[in-house]
Amino acid sequence: MGMQRFDVLELTDFACKLFIAAGMAPIRADVVARILIEGDLLGHTTHGLQLLVPYLKSIESGEMALEGDPEVLSAKPVAELWDGKYLVGPWLVDRAFTTASNMAREYGTGTVVIRRCSHIGCLAAYMLPVTQQDFLGLLICSDPANSTVAPHGGTTPVYSPNPVAAGIPTEGDPVVLDISMSTTTNGLCMRSMKAGEKLPHPWLKDSDGNVSNEPSLIFSDPPGSILPLGGIDSGHKGFGLGLLVEALTSGLGGYGRADGVTEWGSSVFVQVQDIKAFGGADPFKRESSWLADACRKSNHEDNDPPVRVPGEAGLARRREALTDGVTLFPGIIDKLIGWGEKFKVSPPSPLN
């Protein structure tokens, strides 16, 4: 079956009802469904509704906790540390952005670090509500139970892909970036392996140090590894950035790899800057807009497409999907239909 398009509101309602049927509180289910759909709207199909089934399985197994609230372990006017207790990740991060935004509104900046958070989905999916308030947002995460990326020059996997996302206001669409500090992600490796496909480029190493595009290597015994961002030639840069992510997440959280964590989850860093508290909203957006426009106007080879700034294609795709329906990656809806039958929740009909 090829790509299918679905009405965004109907699909969000379906996902929400599945979570509620699995025992999630409606308010939390609404947030999680919206964040997952947002991933698909922006084109991050490995971190959209593809995650719904793993989330439902995590709820069934008890890995994703549904009851209770995070514990505030440390609180300062512009900085808090939470124990997420493996509660629902997207709901926790959404709540952290609300807390950090309130700090920024009063003090100019706000940071919330969460340890023991369940999976948080697509990082870019959180950025539009932040930038719409004239805030600059940062979202960074690692998974202390996951080791698939090897340090530059090594072959033993030590840390996780460690994505960094940011939302930067401009006079038009924000610049939205979502970049792993590795050459690829665990999600793409898993999807490619299940589909029997190779990765587009040799982004992995086997345990002997040979580069490869075989996605199953990171699941082999002994395991291969994902190369740091920059690959063989410039991987020292991605390695350094990966370590920075570890410091901002598990390091500031005071809980991580040194504790021998084995439970799947995230260490999360959420930060908001109120651009009005620094040089002012208009000067900031004048500068960010000038830079984005200058990048778009950069000369390029005749046969190459024009330069796009981060998030530009995703936001255009999002606008189209809100009007014409969101396209789901093949196979996703089929798996969700099975869960719909289990919970007696009817799936939406495709638009095409």
CATH of the domain at 31: 3.30.1370.60
Peptide bond into 161 cis (omega under 30): no
pLDDT on residue 2: 57
**What is the SS3 string spanning 160-175?**
CCCEEEEEECCCCCCE
Q: 195 and 51 share a domain?
A: no
Q: 81 and 130 share a domain?
A: yes
Q: 210 and 339 share a domain?
A: no
| 297 part of a folded domain | no
Which residue segment(s) compose the domain that 209 sits in? 184-226
Q: What is the pTM of this model?
A: 0.95
The total of structural domains in the chain comes to 2
**How many angstroms separate the CA atoms of 309 and 129, rounded?**
19
Q: 125 and 274 share a domain?
A: yes
Q: 221 and 247 share a domain?
A: no
Residue that finishes a domain, picked among 175, 195, 226: 226
Hey, what long-range contacts does 309-312 have (CB within 8 A, 24 or more apart)? 309/175, 310/175, 310/176, 310/177, 310/178, 310/179, 311/42, 311/124, 311/127, 311/173, 311/174, 311/175, 311/176, 311/177, 312/173
Q: 191 and 276 share a domain?
A: no
pLDDT on residue 226: 96
* SS3 at position 151: coil
Q: 37 and 121 share a domain?
A: yes
Q: Which pLDDT tens digits describe the chain residue by residue (352 residues)?
A: 457 899 999 999 999 999 999 999 999 999 999 999 999 999 998 899 999 999 999 999 999 999 999 999 999 999 999 999 999 999 999 999 999 999 999 999 999 999 999 999 999 999 999 999 999 999 999 999 999 999 999 999 999 999 999 999 999 999 999 999 999 999 899 989 988 999 999 999 999 999 999 999 999 999 999 999 999 999 999 999 999 999 999 999 999 999 999 988 899 999 999 999 999 999 999 999 999 999 999 998 877 888 999 999 999 999 999 999 999 888 888 889 999 999 999 999 998 7
pLDDT on residue 46: 85
**How many angstroms separate the CA atoms of 257 and 17, rounded?**
36
pLDDT on residue 4: 80
**How many angstroms separate the CA atoms of 167 and 230, rounded?**
23
CATH classification of the domain holding 202: 3.30.60.50
Residue type, 4: Q
Q: 168 and 189 share a domain?
A: no
Give helix then strand counts, H and E, for the chain: 11, 12
| 304 part of a folded domain | no
Q: How far is CA 20 from the centre of its chain?
A: 23
